[in-house]
A = this chain, B = another copy of it.
């Protein structure tokens, strides 16, 4: 393979694998009868770990843009897993909080999510993880603005 073409191939493999990982988790969520998506889960988990956050903070933590976060928040609100509370110090902003059923859902799903996530890494060693993380971070930094 030509030198230059090789890099396109790696980018393709990265994209393909990331899609597969997401697809697998999505499918397992469905099979388990959970009515949330993987991206919605990520938001719930952040709120579970860190407590109330505004939408900008959630967007930054999950590396999503603001319009996307608005819509994920809308969907989670409709399902009554979170609520937008008025921000005490800033009327432009909301405090997003888990509802009781949101809290309960995270607690129930957490072990299963972890086993879904583990599946991808079967047969890989501790040093593989380190290498992988290092390379991913390097790629990410190369493309930072």
A contact residues vs B (CB 8 Å cutoff) = 4-8, 10-25, 42, 45, 63, 111, 113-115, 117-124, 128-129, 131-133, 135-140, 142-144
Contact = CB atoms under 8 A, between A and B. Distances in A.
Given A120-B7, A132-B132, A20 B139 contact: yes
B17 A17 contact: no
A15 B21 contact: yes
26 contacts: A4-B114, A4-B115, A4-B118, A7-B118, A8-B113, A8-B117, A10-B132, A11-B21, A11-B117, A12-B42, A13-B133, A14-B14, A14-B17, A14-B18, A14-B136, A15-B22, A18-B18, A20-B139, A20-B144, A24-B143, A119-B142, A122-B142, A124-B135, A124-B138, A128-B138, A131-B132
B143 A123 contact: no
A67 to B, nearest CB: 14
For the residues of A in contact with B, the DSSP-based class is helix
Contacts of A4: 111, 114-115, 117-118
Contacts of A111: 4
A82 to B, nearest CB: 20
A89 B116 CA distance: 44
